[in-house]
Amino acid sequence: MKRKSLIILMAFMLPLLVVAQTKQEASKLQWWQDARFGLFLHWGLYSVPAGDWNGHRAKGNEYLMLYQKIPLKVYGKIAERFDPVKFNADEWVKMAKNAGMKYIVITTKHHDGFAMFNSPSSNYNVVKMSPWGKDPMKLLAAACKKYGIKLCFYYSLGRDWQDPDVPTDWPTKGGRSNTWDYPNEDKKDITKYFERKVMPQVRELLTQYGPIGILWFDTPELIKPEESKELLAMIHKLQPNCIVNSRIGNGLGDYKVLEQKIATTIDLNPWESCVTMNGGWGYNKHDTAWKSPELLIRQLIETVSSGGNYLLNVGPMGNGAFPQPAIQRLAAIGKWMHVNGQAIYDTKPWKIAAESLGDAASDKNVTKVDNTMVDALNDATPKGIFPEIRFTAKGDNVYVFANSIHTPVLQVKALGSSNFRKIKKVKLLGGHCLKWKQEAGFLQIKMPKKKAGHINVYVFKVD
């Protein structure tokens, strides 16, 4: 009888425990979903050669070691030239904050295996091997705490060209492995690497720098299901509030990642688009494919209106400074966000994400990227500048984004009286109430006069 009662009790309690766990996970994600906008930083040894190798222009950016098949002993010597005299953690974080970003994700270990932090478990790190001898993560942790920015860490999980025990299977067997130093793929045992390097280093990242907002894993490759589970259990034990992306592998993680893509439809599940500001992730002096501030702002809006977060990348130079075009774009985005940020932060998708004002597919400004190296140059985000309306929502307000509109009057079909309830007020963010009229077929808004140098993306708050 007691056993039967216990079974009934467990059957009753299990759904309650699941609901409680779901609420806890949702609460943990709340700050991130409210933030909507973050800074991605790819910085490592590859930032020093900056697109050159042995006196000639080289392919690969952060994949330099792989594409040039540089022996580990030779590649490691780049650390002797790593002396970022212009690195200033305060300046980095202030630029992110002034741009309207709420969190920073920085590469602590990329695929080259070099730790950009003080790692007691591996001497192959920036403190032990560079003349600079400092721990940038410690300095960034202090600056992030000072300015109220969440510090988050990137860690390459299933690729490591320094370790002898890391096989890969993409795009074919050994396709992303160090086969010039360690040619025998069948001899490699990823569990040895996982236990020797991954677990100790992730533990160090979670115990040396205070609260971490996100552990942003990359390329799980051949990491086993039990290893993903073991890693996640350690993270939850050491920092229960730390978010983990889906690239921890094997179906685990708190949110999915779209790399160099933006969702085309609304997705209410947690997701994030990580996007480059120019052509590649790591700094390359030859990379001149810088997106305009207007295009970057439009990509931010496109992402948020579809329910996602926008993680925008900058590749700092080997000397520790941001490239000047990146500084200029961050400043321009920040100026726009200062006026219009309320339409981004803490918002949700409206009933539709967008309303087209023309045939975007026929736009002549849409560009294609030469994508022969899908690791380094794989930007599939839209490049077209065409008239479009986007929407977000917060409470009883709908925010209307007028993207690249050149007509004196904007007509919003979705907000016509036949589609939407009666409107009380329409206000230009950063401006004043405008002339508007709600008719059956559309809401008609008189567009503001364009100011010289102003980014042509206006936001209207509709009550």
CA distance readout (Å), 83 to 73, 119, 131, 333: 19, 18, 6, 30
310 belongs to a structural domain: no
pLDDT band at 2 (very low <50, low <70, confident <90, very high): low
Distances (CA, A) of 202 to 149, 206, 247, 275, 303: 21, 6, 14, 25, 30
Return the higher-pLDDT residue of 393 and 376.
393
C-alpha span between 372 and 301 (Å, rounded): 29
91 domain-assigned: yes
Same domain, 185 and 40: yes
Distance CA 174, CA 179 (A): 7
| Residues 230 and 356 occupy one common structural domain | no
Same domain, 59 and 175: yes
Q: Kindly indicate the confidence band of residue 433, based on its pLDDT and cuts at 50, 70 and 90.
A: confident
Domain end among 229, 254, 279 = 254
- At which of 190, 222, 254 does a domain end? 254
Tell me, what CATH number does 205's domain have?
A: 3.20.20.80
Structure tokens at 230: 């073991």
Does 216 lie in the same domain as 79? yes
Last residue of a domain, one of 254, 278, 309: 254
Question: Is there a domain that residue 86 lies in?
Answer: yes
Per-residue pLDDT at 24: 61
Same domain, 169 and 45: yes
Domain assignment present for residue 78? The answer is: yes
105 has which bridge partners?
A: 40, 152
**Confidence band, pLDDT 50/70/90 cuts, at residue 264:** confident
Same domain, 242 and 356: no
Rounded to whole angstroms, the Cα distance separating 242 from 234 reads 11
In a domain, 273, yes or no: no
For residue range 141-161, list pLDDT tens digits in order.
999 999 999 999 999 999 999
- % of the chain surpassing 90 pLDDT: 83
User: Is the pLDDT reported for residue 265 higher than 50?
Assistant: yes
| Mean per-residue pLDDT, 293-306 | 97
Q: How confident is the model at residue 367 (pLDDT cuts 50, 70, 90)?
A: very low
Domain that holds residue 76: 23-254
On whether both 234 and 357 belong to a single domain, the answer is no
Indicate the burial class of 384 (C-beta count within 10 angstroms; 0-12, 13-18, 19 or more): middle
CATH number at residue 413: 2.60.40.1180
Residue 21 has pLDDT above 70, yes or no: no
pLDDT in tens, 91-139: 999 999 999 999 999 999 999 999 999 999 999 999 999 999 999 999 9
Q: Is 333 helix (H, G, I), strand (E, B) or coil?
A: helix
Residue type, 249: G
Looking at the structure, do residues 356 and 233 belong to the same domain, yes or no? Answer: no
Instruction: Among 6-20, 105-119, 283-297, name the one with the lowest average pLDDT.
Output: 6-20
Looking at per-residue confidence, does 6 or 414 come out higher? 414
Determine contact, residues 310/429, Cβ cutoff 8 Å. Answer: no
pLDDT at 449: 85
Rounded distance between C-alpha atoms, residue 450 and residue 307, angstroms:
29
Question: What pLDDT shows up at residue 363?
Answer: 38
**203 touches 215 (CB < 8 A):** no
Residue 295 included in any domain? no
- pLDDT at res. 3: 57
| Count of domains forming the chain | 2
pLDDT digits (tens, 9 = 90+) for 32-89: 999 999 999 999 999 999 999 999 999 889 999 999 999 999 999 999 999 999 999 9
pLDDT band at residue 432, thresholds of 50, 70 and 90?
A: confident
Q: 233 with 356, same domain?
A: no
Kindly state the average pLDDT of the residues 159-164.
98
CA distance 257 to 373: 20
Check whether residue 356 and residue 250 sit in a common domain: no
398 exposure class (CB count in 10 Å sphere: 0-12, 13-18, 19+):
buried
Q: Is the pLDDT of residue 1 over 60?
A: no
Q: How confident is the model over 189-231, as pLDDT tens digits?
A: 999 999 999 999 999 999 999 999 999 999 999 999 999 999 9
